[in-house]
A and B are shown apart, each in its own frame.
Chain A
Amino acid sequence: DQQVKQNSPSLSVQEGRISILNCDYTNSMFDYFLWYKKYPAEGPTFLISISSIKDKNEDGRFTVFLNKSAKHLSLHIVPSQPGDSAVYFCAATGSGNTGKLIFGQGTTLQVKP
């Protein structure tokens, strides 16, 4: 049973437009959410995060929105650039000292020039 779900395996957008990647979770104990980006043949790298006490966090072209009641978060990239083409993973972790970090299936973003 996947606790973190990314239901769109792929997304294609035009350069300069907005990319919206979605993520749903089922465990209400999760209180922090992170997005990672992965290029082929490399390990994932951290992109942006959000605490459950917030509904928005922004970092440059990247904004993450959290709807806690719907157990849904989204990553917005504006404007999208060809270098943003990668696999994006949503991850979640809960309070406490266990440190367990659970990832979703990933969404492959292609930004066309």
Chain B
Amino acid sequence: DAGITQSPRHKVTETGTPVTLRCHQTENHRYMYWYRQDPGHGLRLIHYSYGVKDTDKGEVSDGYSVSRSKTEDFLLTLESATSSQTSVYFCAIREGASGNTEAFFGQGTRLTVV
């Protein structure tokens, strides 16, 4: 299994509070991604990173920010959590950007905003 760990695995938070999810990898892969999974929407890309301090927006980036200060960690922050951000969040890593480079996913973080 690829060395990718998400923390926390479950979290319940209140509307309006900031929340940070962590993705940690031990593979030294360059690319890291944050997705959210929702019924009827599948996996939607929030933000991704193509190197330390290099990040870009995905399909649903509003209300989220990310940081990558070192290769192994990619943090996702919900600046002020809303109920619409209740979801399962997945982190993924890829060694390169070529099309045949598969992505490896973490186990997911289930976030509930009440």
Residues of A within 8 A of B (CB): 6, 9, 31-34, 41-46, 49, 51, 89, 91, 93, 95-106
Contact = CB atoms under 8 A, between A and B. Distances in A.
Given A31-B99, A41-B108, A99-B50, 4 more contacts: A6-B42, A43-B90, A100-B58, A102-B45
B94 A103 contact: no
B59 A32 contact: no
24 contacts: A32-B98, A32-B100, A33-B99, A43-B92, A43-B105, A43-B107, A43-B108, A44-B90, A45-B105, A46-B104, A49-B100, A51-B99, A91-B43, A97-B97, A98-B97, A99-B96, A101-B45, A101-B94, A103-B35, A103-B43, A103-B45, A105-B40, A105-B41, A106-B43
A64 B107 CA distance: 26
B31 interface: yes
A97 B50 contact: yes
Given A42-B107, A43-B108, A103 B97 contact: no
Contacts, number: 76
Interface residues of B, number: 30
6 closest cross-chain pairs (CB), A and B = A32-B99, A43-B105, A99-B97, A105-B42, A103-B43, A46-B102
Interface of B: 30-31, 33, 35, 40-45, 48, 50, 56, 58-59, 90, 92, 94, 96-100, 102-108
A110 to B, nearest CB: 16
A101 to B, nearest CB: 6
A6 B108 CA distance: 22
A43 B25 CA distance: 15
Contacts of A43: 90, 92, 104-108
Nearest to A9: B40
Given A32-B100, A44-B90, A93-B99, A100 B45 contact: yes
A89 B42 contact: yes
A101 B33 contact: yes
A102 B107 CA distance: 19
Nearest to B49: A99
